Structure 1
């Protein structure tokens, strides 16, 4: 049986910009924190891709026998826009709802979409508003250690003091203080800071600000960066294994988390920083302002102008998995149609596996194939390589069906179990009834055409015979004539 004890994982650590052997803080246990959504609007597909990437990591670690504590937060306060306005407060005004109504509405949307895409829920899903006390206590500690200062009722992290003490602000994003100073925008509250790079730990609320809490410094609200430090350390400790999120969070959010944690606890908070890359649409960055954007519900329902038909959630999941989580992935109609075609080919073969009968000997090296699948996942969770191996399995299943290849009973059991492990448990895919029904209809239709072609050949109507073969081939359905009759394969 494969376990973490005989599978060495290498993962790409953003902090050091290289692949490293995965060695958790505590043997057999993994603590993983992933930055969750700010619930002020419907979750977008880019977020879904990020969370699905870490769903795969979570699933594979559990498959290997690790005891995983997966924490993914909900940001329901403190996430400021460029003009220092809270996203949730702004949306509450636009929709004429209480801020917590906005939070509840879009948290439910977030959960619904992730459930459609078959993501496992985290073990703990803490909220920022549920951890105000913990955040205040962290601020007190930072003030006591002189890494934070109070100004006009707000509290800021002192980046210069942190760097003077060897903190190295910018170590994750590889930015220099001088460059950050040159690119600092003029925002509200800048005159309260000792330095433009200092970031807010606590903001004094303006009279019109709706969400506010009492603190030793003012009525206000916590900084966005602080909440993740408070919640990750509470549930995973002062040092834990994996911290993940989208690439866009590397700076300033994750950079600030490192500074806060090291300032409080004087140690590196995270062993491995993992970042998922962005999702584009038709070769362009998704943007509401340009209209180049689509919501998951619109993709699933077909209510959009980008795709020729509705896309099943499992096809969307499969499409995401065809690219490595650290690669940019472009969403387009052609790419999605190709993914659907590949997914149906894969599910059809896996369904067919149930009917395969074992032989007395094996002509295929199952152990080598299983090794290649684990090797793909051990190499920084490389799902596209794993999927290529699954399509090798499709070829084998079709060959077993034609009796060109053979598997002994024990090898067939190993092969079947491995398919189940990788397809269902690790990749989180499902054999869908509607997909299989469509496959059955397609199978019966193709067999009718094969019968018509066979009749034409008997009647020496070579023109009709060739036309049937060629028109099917143009649709990716390849007919193969053999001793036991005509079979087909979908490319």
Structure 2
């Protein structure tokens, strides 16, 4: 029997504003779409948090035995400045500023995106479609919306008629916004005179003569609207009605709202059963912003080359830090928080490394089966990773008690403990054991142990300047020496 038949998973559905029991449309199969990056710059750390959150969700669904088709797109055209219908295409603008082809920009930052996500140990999606690879599907989708009377053409551009749609549907069903309020709060913007109403959004934009990225269509040589791309790609690979659509909280309106309207207008039905949204990542209690200088990118955080954090942090430590908050909570990235997570992560890994050396007995002093189910209960409560981690630290306490001879465990229960910890720590949370990583890491460990011996010899010879130099220079590259009565150990 599959695990999913034994567990009662609940998911917070943004559409209804409450947790709901997860029942996939087709038993045993899950279709999940997550909005991917617009590849015109290095991936933002806040976006990394969103993708890590959905990687964890993907991993848990797979762990439960579901066959998951996970689709995460690449936006490589059509995303205009300020997420609107006017202004320059973000990729084209970057290409113009650097005097290179737009697809060079796309290639550069797609490779960067994949490298960053690989560093944080994210699994690749099942399918990673690009907007430019699905122009035909987008044109067909627009034509169906036009044919159904929910779009109009002006000067070669096609706009979605929000007011016409709202006569028979509810625009704002996801974000809980009323069209009347949107009308009242909309200010007139230059360049939107083609629209019947400011709330209408572009399905197809006629390209200006200087616009490089353009395709022929029944309406004009132009390019698709940003909202339309995700509707075309998600339904092509997951069907007109699929299980989960995810993304950052900032996409709920207007992007996801427009996706619902487009699907309803073209297919006559809502596209998604469960809408999920990951919350924001702040930096030192304030919104991350390049303009204010309150900003750090993944490479700076990993290397320690920044003016915000005191040192470099390992990708698994950062991932562990992010898992210590619910994916739906605002998370504040701080040096103190990362430092605490680093200590907690080390405690967890130290306990895992003790498992094989534990002695078993004929009796157990802990109910391992109840503890194991409590781990599932945490994840079944809308992927509650903070509670799961609390349960994992209960196991850390058990392990240390057994190691110290203060508790006992049977061979069978030890196997259950090992299996459960490995499943949740590595398979579900996606953490990596730094002490049991690849051979290059083992070579590094050997080199550090050699430096520790040289430092001990220097101290024995009262050469404290050399001793301090070894310690300080190792610290600069993120390797911390810890002196105690038992000797010197190190941590990354």
Is the shorter-chain TM-score for this pair beyond 0.5, marking a shared fold? yes
Q: CA–CA distance in 2 between the matches of 1:118 and 1:292?
A: 26
Q: What SS is found at the alignment partner of 2:293?
A: coil
Question: Runs of 4 or more off by more than 6 Å in structure 1?
Answer: 475-479
* Helix, strand or coil at the partner of 1:403: coil
In structure 2, the partner of 1:281 is 283
| Alpha-carbon distance change, 152 to 424 in structure 1, aligned in 2, over 3 angstroms | same
Q: Which residue of 1 aligns with 2:126?
A: 123
Which residue is equivalent to 1:158?
161
User: For residues 229-287 of structure 1, what are the alpha-carbon distances to aligned partners after superposition, in whole Å with 9 as ceiling and x for unaligned?
Assistant: 00000000000000000000000000000000011111111000000000000000000
SS at match of 2:193: helix
Residue of structure 1 in register with 2:170 after alignment: 168
Which runs of no fewer than 5 residues in structure 1 stay unpaired?
Answer: 449-474, 480-484
Preserved contact between residue 302 and residue 311 of structure 1 (Cα < 8 Å)? yes
CA gap 1:2/1:144 in 2 versus in 1, 3 angstroms? closer
- The residue correspondences of 1:214-363 to structure 2 (distance < 5 A) are 214-363=216-365
1:79-158 residue pairs with structure 2 within 5 A? 79-82=79-82, 83-158=86-161
Aligned runs of 1:392-403 on 2, under 5 Å? 392-403=394-405
Match of 1:78 in 2: 78
1:214 CA drift (Å): 0.6
- Give the deviation of 1:188 after TM superposition: 4.7
| TM-aligned CA deviation for residue 478 of structure 1 | 12
Give the C-alpha shift of residue 186 in structure 1. Answer: 3.7
Distance 1:276 1:160 in 2: 30
Is contact 1:277-1:325 (8 Å) kept? Answer: yes
Question: Matched residue of 2:126: which SS?
Answer: coil
Q: Deviations for 1:289-319, whole angstroms, at most 9, x for unmatched residues?
A: 0010010001001110011111111111111
Task: Determine the C-alpha separation between the residues in 2 that align with 1:477 and 1:251.
Answer: 53
CA RMSD of superposed structures (Å) = 2.2
Question: How far apart in 1 are the matches of 2:430 and 2:48?
Answer: 14
1:477 is displaced (CA, Å) by 11
Q: Secondary structure at the match of 2:244?
A: strand
Counterpart Cα distance in 2 of 1:88 and 1:191: 25
- Quick check: 1:84–1:187 contact (8 Å CA) kept in 2? no
Quote how far apart the aligned CAs of 1:176 are: 1.0
Give the whole-Å Cα distance in 2 for the aligned partners of 1:198 and 1:354.
62
Cα distance change on mapping 1:391 and 1:23 into 2, 3 Å: same
Separation of aligned partners in 2, 1:201 and 1:289: 31
Report what 2:474 is aligned to.
none
Residue aligning to 1:69 = 69
Within 2, Cα distance between the matches of 1:135 and 1:94? Answer: 28
In structure 2, the residue corresponding to 1:280 is in which secondary structure?
strand
d(CA) in 2 for partners of 1:388, 1:2: 26
CA 1:15 to 1:265, structure 2 compared with 1: closer, same or farther past 3 Å? same
Q: Deviations over 1:327-354 (max 9, x none)?
A: 0000011111111111111111111112
Deviation at 1:115, TM superposition (A): 0.1
Contact kept, 8 Å, 1:84 with 1:188, in 2: the verdict is no
Counterpart CA distance in 2 for 1:478 and 1:150 is 75
2:428 aligns with 426
From 183, 189, 192, give the equivalent of 1:190.
Answer: 192
SS for the counterpart of 1:373 is helix
Relative to structure 2, which stretch is displaced further, 60-69 or 429-438? Answer: 429-438
Structure 2 counterpart of 1:390: 392
Report whether the alignment pairs 1:415 with 2:417: yes
In 2, are the aligned partners of 1:39 and 1:88 still within 8 Å (CA)? Answer: yes
How many residues were matched structurally? 449
Instruction: Tell me which residue corresponds to 1:44.
Output: 44
Consecutive unaligned residues of structure 2, counting only runs of 5 or more, are 436-440, 457-480
Other structure's SS at 2:277 match: strand
Report the Cα distance in structure 1 between the residues aligned to 2:349 and 2:236, rounded to whole angstroms.
42
